[in-house]
Chains A and B, each alone.
Chain A
């Protein structure tokens, strides 16, 4: 008879309690933050007016400025993104191999690889750019290295996961023929991770196009330099051109990547 009166519940008591604990902590953090954050309310209520003012200054858009500087800067931005993505591979491939448990079994190597991957992801690309600008001086090289160092964590992590998911059958078959370590990598693992590899690299390239557009704000080359220069001179109509061209390039890059990835997978 007990089953008749049994009340079905989706979650256990412990699950419920821990969920409520998360909600509670979040609400407490929110209340605490709102009380202590320094926000001037007048600025907040003034915001729509100021935004409208800013956009009205952008009009009419100064399209004549595009061929003067924006075009070259845009090409430079694309080059930074592409070259940065290629340089990433030099670091990301060994780290991905070190991070994959079916290639290297030692936990020490995993920890070393993971340390590099996590620190690459933790430091924002703008911060990497600041570091490299102070090393190499303002210019493209700082941008390329910033993009490269930032992407290592992303590419290395996803690539390592792709390597761990390969079918071990062909690899054992190759090993049984007495193939060398390099041959097993090239003819066993590589063909299997090829689609994942290209899709990860393209995905990262898409992100890098967005990121390289802002690196110029700290002096690392590309369209960001034009953007920050025109902004410092209050040339809002030129700012609008730069923003519009970034918008267009980002959209085109995304469309290209989505279409190639559709065919790959």
Chain B
């Protein structure tokens, strides 16, 4: 409306000026007028744009403005919220369970080196306690730090312990598909490693994670660089370097990296209903005097064995998801599988409980394992799932073995079934049954009833 009026005015002004100099150089005049009109138009457009911007910012009117395009549209200011708008997104996850299982003095994986007896279960989810059990309460704080970085901290709280599970920052856009993360973070190796316990489809982690890392995830204190390839198929490569203080490594005083990881992933859709991701990863760590109790035939009792050397882990993971028409709200299915091989090479020193040396030998192990699981959501609230775990203690070569340390050959395995009900996206109750044969000579039938409740601005989950 206004614009038409302006054009009319301009046309009138132009006609006036043209009429006033009928004998002049009409072409030059025309060109000058044209330039002036263009200038006026540009100025007018800019003003309209500015006005529109203000209007959009203030009230965002539906159809009130002229058909002009703002010359330089900037994002409108963020919606209200006042001072609170800058607060980090906070979420708190409440978890607990009732568990019925056999009384076992010291749970371990037969044939595998379970980390430090003293604090074996300090942060193993669920622990070994029976009956009613409060699990870690997870507190997550996350926010964009500025236009360059985002940060997140995850605290796991339980009684007198506060465990800093994660505390990292990441770049928001280095460009070229690159992303840098630094601080303490769950390593990008494998599939389940980056997930927190509340995201798991079962109460406990697969046996292979317990065998590999003792804890539920391998945590790096270090840096991670990821690159997404510029292709229509998802291709991601990542590299990490970290302090390497967690099992299978040990805390050491050194420069450089005690833990290095590489991972590569490919993923895509098959039609609208199917999607998948395949990954391979490699983790390399060093340990110095990693201690464990072992049976010694020489002294006829427990000896303390200390491993110094290298651990190399290869992981392969596969995830497949199905949802009718690609709409997972009502029904969906998820299948995941992971496989590992671990190779440890170094020296093993043995001593008795008093610290008297019993001799040193070589140490070389080749171990492997896998799990397979499928979870089906058959109505909007209900899901059911099955999982099978199997590990192979494999070759454990102690060389000359002067202390006559005993190794155990065993194949820990477990079958698990679960059904869970979600009242909404934020609350879930789960019943899980397991037949656990992870310890030699023991078949443990476990029944678990678990709740997971999520308060606050719960962030989106990855694929």
Co-assembled chains A and B: no
